[in-house]
Amino acid sequence: MTELTKKGQLAKKAAMVLMTADAETKNKALAEIAREIEKRTDEVLEENRKDTEAAVQSGITKALLDRLTLTEERIKGIIDGINEVIALPDPIGEVLERTVRPNGMEIQRLSVPLGVIGIIYEARPNVTVDAAVLCLKAGNAVILRGGKEAFNSNLAFVNIMRDAVERAGLPRDCVALVEDTSRQSAMELMQLSDYLDVLIPRGGAGLIRSVVENSKVPVIETGIGVCHVYVHRDADLEKAADIIFNAKCSRPSVCNAAETLLVDESIAGSFLPMAKLKLNSKNVEIRGCEKTREILGDSVVPAKDTDFGTEFGDYILAVKVVSGLDEAIDFINEHGSGHSEAIVTENSEAAEKFLRGIDAAAVYANVSTRFTDGGEFGLGAEIGISTQKLHARGPMGLRQLTSSKFVIRGNGQIR
């Protein structure tokens, strides 16, 4: 039996116990996790130092090193996050629907845990705790498979969490870490359909594509964001410039940042120079269509076809002039990733047509795409942003980590 099969079996057993655990027990486990992390902060920092030192030696990029690094302050942030999750209502055992049938049997649809959740992610040790805590709160066991660069940090966190849940009277195997961080172990996890109920990849486009294509376990696809802001001819141009600046520049690396600006032809001449002025303050590279370059001049890089539909994750913006609303809707439905799309217009008819016609997780009128986020939507905490249509779409909070079952009570009904 491989390491993973064994871990899968143990996690499934643990999930059966968690399935019937009450809110108090689960919250106690989370509180123990918070306390234990606080107590063993030095241990975590020391293990993290091993990871960061090895990473520096192997020549990791500055951005990746930053994501990998833990500090006392960041650990405090993780603990605050746990306390926020404790404060959220328990998503399990809710009666979602109820009906009494003509034959007298009563049918309830109850929220229940999913079971065992696998998370595949990159070298971000905070995800180890954030994801595990959300899974546990929703009554799920979790198998974590993080990036190899963060292995020592992840193992420290997982050992702490296993000790803590045990102290709360739950099985240690509610939380497990895949210790083999080879590519092969990720592939093996994707075949573990006997024990895993869901697999959630968190990370870059390559990781997510690989999981979607290879997994036999049901996958929730998260996080690829090719978001558009479309400035309609009836837009308030000041508002539009603020929105595209915010959507592009407030945090270009995240999935709800804008990658493409579409502008109606009739206002492009007045709007594009305004927008460029603002974007210049952050040295945004504009890659424009031909008409954009006619207006903004040759300093604008000519856009290639592949620039549209690309997630730059950087201070780069593709710009295209369109004939109007219909072209904008078609263009977005073809080039977007189904994440977040915005129209800017004072014309409510145009806004409603856009909101109806765009096929994406979040569609905005006169709001920056940057709001697509569990916290901003009021879900409390988020495990990711689903860009698929099955099960969950958009920011996924606790409820999206649950399933349901029908419970039927009767007195001898037969059919």
Cβ contact 325:353 at 8 Å: yes
Candidate list 9, 210, 310, 333; residue touching a second copy; CB under 8 A: 333
* Closer to a second copy by Cβ: residue 159 or 372: 372
Structure tokens at 410: 């009767």
115 binds a second copy (CB under 8 A): yes
3-state secondary structure of 387: coil
**With binding defined as CB under 8 A, does residue 331 bind a second copy?**
no
Pairing of strands 384-386, 394-396: antiparallel
Residues 215-244 that bind a second copy (CB under 8 A): 216, 218-220, 236, 239, 242-243
CA angle 177, 37, 151 (to 5 degrees): 35
413 lies in the binding site for a second copy (CB under 8 A): yes
Residue 382 structure tokens: 């988020």
253: burial class by Cβ within 10 Å (0-12, 13-18, 19+)?
exposed
First to last CA, the chain: 44
Among 16, 45, 54, 224, binds a second copy (CB under 8 A): 16
> From CA 212, how far away is CA 206, in angstroms rounded?
10
Q: Binding mask 182-201 vs a second copy (x if CB under 8 A, - otherwise)? A: -----------x---xx---
Nearest distance in Å: CB 217, a second copy: 10
Q: Under rule CB under 8 A, how many of the chain's residues touch a second copy?
A: 68
Residue 297 beta carbon to a second copy: minimum distance, rounded to whole angstroms: 27
CA distances (Å), origin 235, targets 119, 232, 240, 322, 372: 42, 5, 7, 14, 22
Binding to a second copy in span 233-292, by CB under 8 A? 236, 239, 242-243, 245-247, 250
Q: Which residue lies nearer to a second copy by CB, 62 or 356?
A: 356
341 three-state secondary structure:
strand
Residues within the interface to a second copy (CB under 8 A): 16, 19-20, 99, 101, 105, 107, 109, 112, 114-115, 193, 197-198, 212-213, 216, 218-220, 236, 239, 242-243, 245-247, 250, 333, 351, 355-357, 359-368, 370-372, 376-378, 388-391, 393-394, 403-415
